[in-house]
Amino acid sequence: MFLPNYKYKVMHMKSIPANKEEKSTRQQDKTWILVAVDNSDYAQLVAEEAAKVAQQRKANVVFLSVVPIPSFVAAEGEVDTQYIHEQEKEYQNLHNQLIDDYFKEYKATLVESKILHGDPASKIVKYADEIDADLIVMGSKGQGKLASVFLGSVSKHVVNSSKRSVLVVKKKNKE
């Protein structure tokens, strides 16, 4: 699907990781920003911040969402494919909307969309390495202190385990 004011390459619903050939065809002289979003309230804020950075750096962007596969499902080996397909559609619609809202005016920016399956934190870190991202932009989901202690958070895991720079976008406090 091509939109009038910018290049748009859809790579959704492919579980094939980026390989060396794919990397070599990328614009090596450009900065690559991986924008990790989910269906939370943070998606708009994350896209807005990523657009600012992409414009400043004249960077290319990859929107990434990860459909989580619950651990009990993975252990039993049965996956609800209808759930996965619904999540893929929701994420692709989200990516398209965010691209339309924040990136269509940047004519020189290549914007890609990628949807993976599995543990969001580890998939974000791994995919950032595969595409040799210069920056990961993601939201900080407010779980509360107790939930964060027991469950951790995706952004915390990415910040602690990625060798890439990470921009964590927080909601602005309304006073």
Chain segment 135-153, per-residue pLDDT in tens:
999 998 755 555 455 456 8
The tokens of 15 are what?
């579980």
pLDDT per position as a tens digit, 4-23 = 322 333 333 333 334 444 44
User: Which tops the pLDDT comparison, 53 or 28?
Assistant: 53
Residue 84 within any structural domain of the chain:
yes
Quote the number of domains for the chain.
1
CB 111 within 8 A of CB 145: no
Residue 132 within any structural domain of the chain:
yes
Nearest CA-CA partner of 169 in 117, 98, 116, 91? 98
pLDDT per position as a tens digit, 84-107 = 899 999 999 999 999 999 998 876
Residue 20 within any structural domain of the chain:
no
Residue 139 within any structural domain of the chain:
yes
Secondary structure (3-state) at 4: coil
Beta bridge partners of 137: 35, 167
Band of pLDDT at residue 71, cut at 50, 70 and 90? low
User: Which tops the pLDDT comparison, 16 or 45?
Assistant: 45
The domain containing residue 136 runs over which residues? 7-15+30-169
Rounded to the nearest integer, the mean pLDDT of the chain is 79
Secondary structure (3-state) at 140: coil
The pLDDT assigned to 54 comes to 94
d(CA 87, CA 155): 20
CATH of the domain at 41: 3.40.50.620
Band of pLDDT at residue 119, cut at 50, 70 and 90? very high
Residue 23 within any structural domain of the chain:
no
d(CA 4, CA 96): 13
User: Which tops the pLDDT comparison, 82 or 29?
Assistant: 82
Give the DSSP letter of residue 173: P
Secondary structure (3-state) at 115: strand
The pLDDT assigned to 78 comes to 64
The arithmetic mean of pLDDT across residues 30-43, rounded, is 92
